[in-house]
């Protein structure tokens, strides 16, 4: 196993590390419909904490998408999401990853709020959020929460096993779009290089995450892209998931990942949107942007959030109602932002 050379630990790193002690039971959780960063960060932390003699389990509000199941192959029984409420109620502490707000925990938000134990947070999103009291290790300049996990392990001199390195790499590669997005910084690539030096098989990760799609995924892509609308005058594009499309193609919401990027890729588009009806009479909106368009600020107007170039929100209302509201606001928002050379 490979160790890292510790730096002088920051106060935030020491506060988060004080959340657990050997023999304790820690529950890790992330947002509804967990992505590669949330799951990769969780799995990395499980490996790190087990190396410290701490029992760590994963308790998410919704199941793990199939393409990320390989991360759990050497961790049998660690994913207790099917009995998350029970596990959270008997935890010694809770660590929330890749979000900083109870509302993103779906049905588990109330359980975490009422658990009566310290609730730590490691996150890289903008916005303050609302969580019960506990230590915070937060940096909105990090490309992914997985990058912060790597930084935390480096500061504290923890052993990073190949399995932990792979999980962190999954977090990095998914939240940077394969190191294509603007959140990719020199520190991000240095982190990735360190993980590769620890034995990460990049092709294996690519195959598992991006090249193991069910046949329904490309068929879903075709159907959704047929709805593409582009407004050249303001640089706005959007796509809509037709009602029943997921069921018709026998896929799940994770198979929508990346579709909005096709709308963003159109020349002249500064803001791209994806609309989808979800349960509870709500419509989910995914925001993506290029240039100087801050979609997190736009999403926060409706109770959402995220990154400057990638954000989302679920709004109560029918698909048509939410589209009318969001598109009207998006046009005005774009008209107020000068075009750049992008």
Mean pLDDT of the 134-161 span: 96
Average pLDDT over residues 135-142: 94
pLDDT digits (tens, 9 = 90+) for 207-217: 999 999 999 99
Q: What is the pTM of this model?
A: 0.91
pLDDT the model gives residue 286: 97
Q: For the chain, what are the domain ranges?
A: 2-210, 216-335
Average pLDDT, the chain: 94
The percentage of residues in the chain with a pLDDT greater than 70, rounded to a whole number, is 96
At 2 the pLDDT is 47
Model pLDDT, residue 274: 98
- Least confident range from 13-27, 268-282, 304-318: namely 304-318
Instruction: Indicate whether 341 pLDDT > 60.
Output: no
pLDDT digits (tens, 9 = 90+) for 237-292: 999 999 999 999 999 999 999 999 999 999 999 999 999 999 889 999 999 999 88
Per-residue confidence band for 103, with pLDDT thresholds at 50, 70 and 90:
confident
Mean pLDDT of 153-164: 96
> What pLDDT was estimated at residue 1?
40
Task: Name the pLDDT band for 21 (thresholds 50, 70, 90).
Answer: very high
CATH topology of domain 216-335: Diaminopimelate Epimerase; Chain A, domain 1 (3.10.310)
Instruction: Name the pLDDT band for 128 (thresholds 50, 70, 90).
Output: low
Q: How confident is the model at residue 319 (pLDDT cuts 50, 70, 90)?
A: very high
CATH architecture of 2-210: Alpha-Beta Complex (3.90)
3-state secondary structure the chain: CEECCCCCCCHHHHHHHCCCCCCCEEEEECCCCCCHHHHHHHHHHHHHHHHCCCEEEECCCCCCCHHHHHHHCCCCCCECHHHHHHHHHCCCEEEEECCCCHHHHHHHHHHHHCCCCCEEEEECCCCCCCCCCCCEEECCCCCCHHHHHHHHHHHHCCEECHHHHHHHHHHHHHHCCCCCCCCCCHHHHHHHHHHHHCCCCHHHHHHHHHCCCCCHHHHHHHHHHCCCEEECCCCEEEEECCCCHHHHCCCCHHHHCCHHHHHHCCCCCCEEEEEEEECCCEEEEEEEECCCCCHHHHHHCCCCEECCCEEEEEEECCHHHHHHHHHHHHHHHHHCCCCCCC
Q: Stretch 102-111: mean pLDDT, rounded?
A: 93
Whether the predicted pLDDT of 150 surpasses 90: yes
């Amino acid at each position: 196993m490979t160790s890292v050379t510790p730096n002088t630990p920051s106060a935030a790193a020491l506060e988060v590390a004080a959340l657990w002690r050997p023999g304790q039971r820690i529950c890790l959780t992330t947002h509804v419909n967990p992505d590669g960063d949330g799951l990769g960060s969780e799995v990395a932390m499980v490996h790190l904490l087990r190396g410290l003699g701490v029992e760590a389990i994963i308790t998410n509000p919704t199941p793990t998408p199939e393409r990320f199941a390989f991360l759990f192959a050497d961790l049998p029984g660690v994913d207790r999401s099917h009995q998350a409420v029970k596990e959270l109620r008997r935890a010694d502490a809770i660590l929330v990853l890749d979000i900083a707000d109870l509302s993103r925990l779906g049905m588990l938000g109330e359980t975490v709020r009422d658990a009566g134990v310290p609730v730590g947070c490691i996150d890289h999103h903008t916005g303050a959020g609302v969580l019960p009291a506990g230590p915070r290790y937060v940096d909105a300049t990090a490309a992914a929460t997985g990058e912060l996990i790597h930084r935390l392990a480096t500061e504290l001199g923890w052993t990073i096993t190949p399995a932990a390195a792979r999980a962190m790499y999954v977090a990095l590669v998914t939240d940077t779009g394969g190191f294509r997005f603007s959140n990719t910084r020199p520190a991000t690539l240095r982190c990735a290089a360190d993980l590769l030096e620890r034995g990460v098989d990049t092709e294996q990760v690519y195959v598992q995450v991006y090249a193991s799609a069910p046949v329904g995924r490309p068929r879903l892509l075709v159907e959704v892209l047929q709805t593409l609308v582009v407004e050249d005058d303001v640089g706005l594009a959007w796509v809509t998931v037709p009602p029943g499309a997921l069921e018709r193609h026998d896929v799940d919401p994770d198979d929508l990942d990346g579709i909005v990027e096709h709308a963003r890729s159109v020349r002249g588009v500064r803001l791209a949107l994806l609309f989808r009806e979800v349960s509870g009479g709500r419509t989910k909106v995914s925001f993506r942007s290029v240039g100087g368009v801050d979609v997190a600020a736009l999403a926060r107007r409706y109770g959402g959030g995220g990154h400057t170039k990638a954000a989302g929100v679920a709004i109560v209302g029918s698909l048509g109602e939410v589209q009318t509201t969001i598109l009207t606001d998006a046009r005005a928002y774009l008209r107020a932002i000068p075009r750049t050379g992008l």
